[in-house]
Structure 1
Amino acid sequence: MAHAINAPADTRPAEFDARLMNYFPHLRRLAGRLSNNKTEQEDLFQDSIAYVLSHWTSFRPDGGFYNWITLCMRHVAQNGRRKSQLRSRHMPTVSDERAMAAVMTPPNQTDAVALNETLAALDPGRSGDVVMMRAMGETLDVIGTKYGIGKERVRQIEEKERNRLRAA
């Protein structure tokens, strides 16, 4: 049988297809042993069938059909694992902050107006600065040191100003 690999399907003997279909249950069981979940199992089964059908000319009748299709499926599974490892090695990992930034939507005009109104309503003195510094992630210690007050007093000022803003 001296055919080229990937020969047209219409030249494939009908007996080849019939033999392959007889081994579907075996291929499904083997796919189950070689994969982790149902989706991967079905993908491996389908990919293996496609591989066998596209490489039917490399089958040698003296080698045994069962062994050949088993080796084909193992080859497809190994290639899949190899591609997955390469993909995970070469794909950059993204921090949670960058991932969130990628899916966040920019604020609309209503949000911008509400923010401007809230900022305008802030006390222009120390309490407004305390709320802004806390919103920017500053610690109670750092703010207290800047104003010469304790952490608890900073927390009280922040809470009082937030309550005033909520009421406004």
Structure 2
Amino acid sequence: MPSDPSTTPVPMRCTAVAAAVINGRQVLLIRRSRGTFAGSWTLVSGRVEAGETAWQAAAREVTEETGLRPITLYTTGNTDVFYNPKDEVMEVVPVFVARTNSQEPVMLDDAHDDYAWLPLPRAMETVAFPGQRRALEMIAHFFMDKPPADFYRIDAYRP
């Protein structure tokens, strides 16, 4: 089907990832300390670096932002999609789940100034972005209410 020359499509871009760090029915949220979203509580998130896969970026970001090393890493099959007016693009952000050792201390990077392990309902109320709230609803069903299906596990991930 030919495109309509009287319209301009909004481009899509996928250069970032998000990860929900979970422990049982608790979710780790981190608060951004600077930039446009300073003061916002979010999931772990960040850019995919050159040569990385999306899941590698998610594992790296969890470690860089929180000091935690995922024990297991899962794809959720879910994305956060939102309009970025500054760059005039639709941002597509794959969402992952990272399970970590509950005994490890959280050590934040300098882009974040606080963290909280919250029960899922409270995390859903606290997170700043609607797409992350929707992702947590799905994560509750597929990763917390029952054991995740094997096909979600990223077998290539080795801590």
Please identify the structure whose Cα radius of gyration is greater.
Answer: 1
For the criterion TM > 0.5, the same-fold answer is: no
Flag the structure with higher strand content. Answer: 2
Flag the structure with higher helix content. Answer: 1
TM-score range, shorter chain: under 0.3
**Greater relative contact order: 1 or 2 (C-alpha under 8 angstroms, separation 6 or more)?**
2
Q: What TM-score, normalized to structure 2?
A: 0.23
Q: What TM-score, normalized to structure 1?
A: 0.22
